[in-house]
Structure 1
Amino acid sequence: MALLEIKNMSAYYGVIQALNGMNVEVDKGEIVTLIGSNGAGKSTALKTISGLVKAKEGSILYNGKDITSMPAHDTTLLGIAHVPEGRRIFPRMTVKENLRIGAFSVKSQKLIEERMEKVFHYFPKLKERLDQRGGTMSGGEQQMLAIGRALMMDPALLMLDEPSMGLAPIIVEQIFEIIKELNNAGVTILLVEQNAFQALQIANRGYVLQTGQIILEGVGSDLIHDKQIHEAYLA
């Protein structure tokens, strides 16, 4: 059974249709990427899965449970963590305060500290900046903080929206290495990324979105060499 199964999902912003009959499966342990141009519906797909946007049609199953109408705070408790586009950290709060917000549902102080140490394993720089306000950090450090905050939920499914956006190439390489490391540690990843080459290099499978519809799907390494994909997104 797939960890995440999206069936014929459609979503709207007012009268404007953003997703049209979307079908996606993510198996446990996979990295699956959604690629497409700006406005294709990639971010809307993640928002609809997490409950920030309501699906008008279709269904979303997580571990076999129907979460189509579930609000975002409940999907989080099920183990779905969403790192939104633009990072969306709390800029006036310190690194430590941002991380603790990620563990909002955890009552055990010991468990919070254990999860924080786990975050520091992936992002040691955050440990050096615990008392620094998030808004004073570089873009790359803020992205690390946004992912770290999501990891404080101990997610089974981590959804990342444009993690490379606005970052220097060397930082992008670091972020993608950490994504692979997280996946190797057992975290299932659903990755939205405009940098199609980077995404397909690490993905088990990929889906191509165009104006809210899936137009192509396949193994990541196959899609890299697909002529249509190469001309549209990799040239």
Structure 2
Amino acid sequence: MLQLKNIETYYGGIQALKGIDISVDKGEVVTLIGSNGAGKSTTLKSISGLVKVKTGNIVYNGTEIANKPAHETSLLGIAHVPEGRRIFPRLTVKENLLMGSFSVKNKRVINERIERAFHYFPKLKDRLEQKGGTMSGGEQQMLAISRALMMEPKLLMLDEPSMGLAPIIVEQIFEIIKELNQEGLTILLVEQNAYQALQIAHRGYVIQTGEIKLQGNGFDLIKNEEVREAYLA
């Protein structure tokens, strides 16, 4: 479904990605793990068009998408839930969800997708008219994921979905990620909670200072001594 080949991305004169090669097959959960500043978020932003790629190719379902504007990549079926959730704090839960379905004109379809969001996150139904910025961090993460699902994406990219959340909420979020994947959604997951991420991932990549250092299936990476020492200790 998705292939990155020799991707180099810069912020001004600082090189953030140094020849990244990553692939995601349809139906997989693939995770990127690494320390802060390793290039995980930049990789997702390069895919979705939020930052410019200097060299390399990003091919999605046979189409070159490197440096396509973000609104075009979203219309192709790529949904990006950014680090820090980035909901619209002054809009209600319902208005945030409607923003996720901006390209859909059929009200019946929109309402069906809102009901589907309630299936995954029932708490949102009780918060429908509440301003997003007044909700807890966990509820905002649920809203951010639901907003992305309103697009009916083929590829869901999640950037640090567990950041700053209580352990019980983290468990709920990861259970939903597993359920979404079991229903056929392809997921590219960036996560500092390496153990949680590798437990649900079919494959994983370890990124350090903008380069892929290790790759393998999730179970093998959990057992890898280098990974255990750096990220699972």
- TM interval, shorter chain, is over 0.9
Q: Deviations over 1:157-203 (max 9, x none)?
A: 00000000000000000000000000011110000000000000000
Instruction: Tell me the residue number matched to 2:131.
Output: 133
Distance (Å, rounded) in 2 between the aligned partners of 1:27 and 1:124: 30
Q: How many residues align?
A: 233
- Is residue 38 of structure 1 aligned with residue 36 of structure 2? yes
**What's the RMSD between the two structures over aligned residues?**
0.4
Distance (Å, rounded) in 2 between the aligned partners of 1:170 and 1:79: 30
TM (norm. structure 1) is 0.99
Correspondence list, 1:1-235, <5 A: 3-235=1-233
- Give the counterpart letter for 2:115 in structure 1: E
- Give the counterpart letter for 2:66 in structure 1: T
Deviation of 1:118 (Å): 0.9
SS for the counterpart of 2:204 is: strand
Deviation of 1:120 (Å): 0.8
Instruction: Flag structure 1 segments of 5+ consecutive residues without an equivalent.
Output: none
**2:20–2:210 contact (8 Å) kept in structure 1:** yes
Q: Deviations over 1:98-128 (max 9, x none)?
A: 0000000001111111111111110111111
> Where in structure 1 do 4 or more consecutive aligned residues deviate above 3 Å?
none
Distance (Å, rounded) in 1 between the aligned partners of 2:54 and 2:196: 32
Distance (Å, rounded) in 2 between the aligned partners of 1:177 and 1:103: 24
Q: Deviations over 1:65-87 (max 9, x none)?
A: 00012100000000000000000
- Give the counterpart letter for 1:111 in structure 2: V
- Give the counterpart letter for 2:215 in structure 1: E
TM (norm. structure 2) is 0.99
**2:205–2:216 contact (8 Å) kept in structure 1:** yes
